[in-house]
Amino acid sequence: MSEALSLLLDERAIERLLIDYVAHNDAGEWEALAALYVPDGRMSRPTAPDAFIEGAGAILAAFQARPPRTTRHIVANVRVSVAGDEAMASSQILLFTAAGQPPLVGTYQDRLLRTAAGWRFVERRGSLDFAA
């Protein structure tokens, strides 16, 4: 396989990972969402960008502790940079949380690692682009 094709496939796999993440989030599939992290991965929510939750188990527990809600995340402007078995990605999100409420606009900055199971998040840092 050519180097260019390999890079393209890696970029597409990472884009799919970002899409799968929000799909699992909107569906309340917390185990599947947490499985997208390496075991010692960490994340911060866009509403608390400097408050990291560390470890896939803690990430799972944090999502399970959320009260039930309906959300829809739209992912756009995905940019991926692959360097061997590591990658960086950025994306914008549009988050709808309730009828009659304005959507939130945010950004994710991601660090990723190629694993035997595919690309996984090492760190996912969210932030809001506009003050509430």
Paired tokens of 20? 């799968």
- pTM here is 0.94
Task: State the Cα–Cα distance between residues 79 and 102, nearest whole angstrom.
Answer: 26
Rounded-to-integer distance, Cα 114 and Cα 4, Å: 17
* φ, ψ for residue 52, nearest 5 deg: -80, 140
CB 121 within 8 A of CB 112: yes
pLDDT at 100: 86
pLDDT by 10-residue block (mean), the chain, 132 residues = 91 98 97 98 95 97 93 96 97 91 95 98 96 64
Q: What tokens does 7 get?
A: 């890079």
Is-contact 108 94, C-beta < 8 A? no
